[in-house]
Structure 1
Amino acid sequence: MAPKTTRPVLDTRSLNRATLARQLLLGRAEMSAADATRHLLGLQAQNVKPPYFQLHARLAGFRPAELAGLMESRQAVRIVTMRSTIHTHTAADALVLRPLVQPARDREVRYFRKGLVGVDLDRLAELARVFVETEPRTMGEIREELLKEWPDADPQSLSVAARCRLPLVQVTPRGVWGKSGQVRLTTLSEWVGDVDPGSGAGGMDAAVLRYLGAFGPASVKDMQTWAGLTRLREVFERLRPGLAVFQDENGVELFDLPDGPRPDADQPAPPRFLPEFDNLLLSHADRTRVIDPELKGRTWSGNQAHCTLLLDGFLAGLWKLDAATLTVELFSAASKASRAEIVAEGERLIADMTEAGESAEEGAKASSGSVRFGAIRA
């Protein structure tokens, strides 16, 4: 029997600091919104505002108008990709990443097959494509158009099939900071035109390397959780000779880029306010690198996700911004110094993220907002 291979062990704090470094959360990066969105492989965008707050936590000098401008110029788009959820991607990344997750979209359609008896899915995709490329349509309008062809089919199943078979983007003003708009859809190619994916190209091998660059060190199951895909082991095995390999304290094999940042476990991590659905909390099968097992499930109430606070790099509480008042609810007591850091970071959030898109008078009010601590959520 061959001897068991021993890999260098990365403990929880080491994994935490390495991941925070990739996620631009150990210190705000001097990086454009477009470059950061690409580096992070997209921003979770189930709701409209979270992508803006994700970038504020990570970038020096970020203002919502920068990402809003990318949306309005069609350099960034909202589209269903990883885990069947909406993400904001650069246009080039959307063109690369959306086809990679098509197997998961095909699997999703199969869940609705009982409502699609007699429906030719290729014809459905073509009819829907022509319909939305004529002008952007609501999902209700797409459903009604398809019912003309298949009146006996289940309406929801028809709309799910269209969303899964086609790369549909939510057109602006939806997703633009300070504006509102109904969800209207067209195809990715129709919306962004002839975009060169550039360095974003390269298939699943490149996607694995980029995932490690943004979320590593990570296991195969971690990436499968992030992507909503299965059977990625063979890709990692193909790349193994060029990767650094570690293991966590439970013996799980972790892969990483050889030159990926792995800071000292004692490096300070400033407090950060993350929005609901931040990918830092969703992109690993084992989330203990950020969430203490005793706090598992504390970021949700029913089907509602909460905004979260990181303290010393780990989940430490929840927050809510109401007008210019930021309310913080910690899970346990914090030192006076930590509370002072939280207040300073909170005041920055208020000043930067409540004046954008508002009138000058309202912005002045925002800059004098307050941070308050609610009861500890024991």
Structure 2
Amino acid sequence: MVVLSGRAVGRATLARQMLVERADVSAVEAVGRLAGMQGQEAKHPYVGLWSRVDGFAEEDLDRAVADREIVRATLFRGTLHLVTAEDYLRFRTTLAPVLEAGLRMLKERAEGMEPAKVVAAAERILAKEPLTFTEVRDALQGEFPEVNERALGFCTRMLVPLVVYPTGVRWGWPANARFTPAEDWIGKKLHQKEAQGELVIRYLQAFGPATPADFQTWSGLSKAKPVFDSLDLERFTDEDGKTLYDVPDAPRPDPGTTVPVRFLPEFDNLLLAHAKRQRIIADEHRPAVFTKNLRIKATYTVDGLVAGLWTAAKKRDVATLTLTPFGRLLKKDLAALEREGTALLGFLEPTAKTYEVVTGG
């Protein structure tokens, strides 16, 4: 079996992530290629697309959301993701076991709750109008006064196919957004047939080469190896002797391929899609990025690996991007980060009059 070096594996994934070269594609095609984007907070997929799509503009994603071609919904790992409407319809049933298993987190708070009855009530309530989850919980509490209100809301979030209702605010959705039934919003029915094999292919096209454990980490599904073994996939070995699976004829650039600096938003899926993440971040840097309160900080890459953190802020008419490097930066890399960072500030803060990129401690 062909052995792929860590650098070769990293370059292959970066190419599929459109981070070796920005792609000339629509927002819908980009989100589809990525098999969805972590959408914990509304702003971050916009930044992720800006770093991946040539000429991406904020209104490109706004338009796709308004046209109901892209939706924001609870999906992979039971978290909010931005996905194409077609992918949501195709894979919601496949991922239902992940969402159903999430109810176990409720433990004693689920006492007295009958999920089927809660789902039926929630569907009836939400069919009338889009509601925030505070409003959903309040309405359900009136029907199930003996059940924990948080449990009622969580059951609805996990078991009822919903999408986040967009508004005219910047980045598409307010912090306390409303939810609405997915099938009503998209205008089509969910696919009822499970399609885990298809989902594995889509995962590898976006994040491969990879292991079944990597797919499980990304999707939340379990026992994936038999599915991998049933598919017509190529097999490689990594430097530790583990078998890596990949779709035939997928891009696997030369390990020496030059990779430009790139800025990744908070919660970027590239940092969440593998059980072992050395292809994108060294183990010693992970504590600085993955916080104890489950946030994943915004990062930048140099030569294809996470090399530091970034934050952006605007004060009066000045927009500032602050870099926090994990080590010493070469002059050429710092210059590249300053160029790319200034362009990013222009995207984030278009009304600013001055843009500054500074290096913090």
TM (norm. structure 2) is 0.94
In structure 2, the residue matched to 1:68 is: 62
Q: Which moved more, 1:313-322 or 1:83-92?
A: 83-92
In structure 2, the residue matched to 1:168 is: 162
2:331 equivalent to 1:341: no
SS in 1 for 2:167: coil
Q: Label 1:94 to 1:175 Cα distance change in 2 as closer, same or farther (>3 A).
A: farther
Distance 1:117 1:302 in 2: 29
Aligned positions of 1:212-251 closer than 5 A: 212-239=204-231, 242-251=232-241
In structure 2, the residue matched to 1:359 is: none
Residue by residue over 1:220-251, the C-alpha shift from the partner in whole angstroms, topping out at 9 and shown as x without a partner, is 00000000111111111111xx2110111111
Q: Which moved more, 1:309-318 or 1:160-169?
A: 160-169
User: What is the CA distance between 1:91 and its match in structure 2?
Assistant: 1.0
User: What is the CA distance between 1:104 and its match in structure 2?
Assistant: 1.0
Aligned positions of 1:202-213 closer than 5 A: 203-213=195-205
In structure 2, the residue matched to 1:191 is: 185
Give ranges in structure 2 of 5+ residues lacking alignment: none
In structure 1, the residue matched to 2:253 is: 263
User: What is the CA distance between 1:119 and its match in structure 2?
Assistant: 2.9
Aligned positions of 1:308-319 closer than 5 A: 308-319=299-310
State the percentage of identical aligned residues: 37
Contact residue 174 and residue 183 of structure 1 kept, 8 A:
no
Q: Label 1:182 to 1:118 Cα distance change in 2 as closer, same or farther (>3 A).
A: closer
Distance 1:372 1:110 in 2: 45
Residue by residue over 1:303-358, the C-alpha shift from the partner in whole angstroms, topping out at 9 and shown as x without a partner, is 24311010000010000111221111111111111111111111111223321xxx
SS in 1 for 2:93: helix
Q: Label 1:109 to 1:190 Cα distance change in 2 as closer, same or farther (>3 A).
A: same
Contact residue 71 and residue 175 of structure 1 kept, 8 A:
no
> 258, 280, 289: which one pairs with 2:279?
289
User: What is the CA distance between 1:16 and its match in structure 2?
Assistant: 0.6
2:19 equivalent to 1:25: yes
Aligned positions of 1:127-146 closer than 5 A: 127-146=121-140
**What is the number of equivalent residue pairs in this alignment?**
355
User: What is the CA distance between 1:255 and its match in structure 2?
Assistant: 0.2
User: What is the CA distance between 1:218 and its match in structure 2?
Assistant: 0.3
Aligned positions of 1:350-361 closer than 5 A: 350-355=345-350
Distance 1:190 1:179 in 2: 18
Give ranges in structure 1 of 5+ residues lacking alignment: 1-6, 356-361
Residue by residue over 1:34-54, the C-alpha shift from the partner in whole angstroms, topping out at 9 and shown as x without a partner, is 100011011111111100000
Distance 2:107 2:152 in 1: 10
Contact residue 77 and residue 218 of structure 2 kept, 8 A:
yes
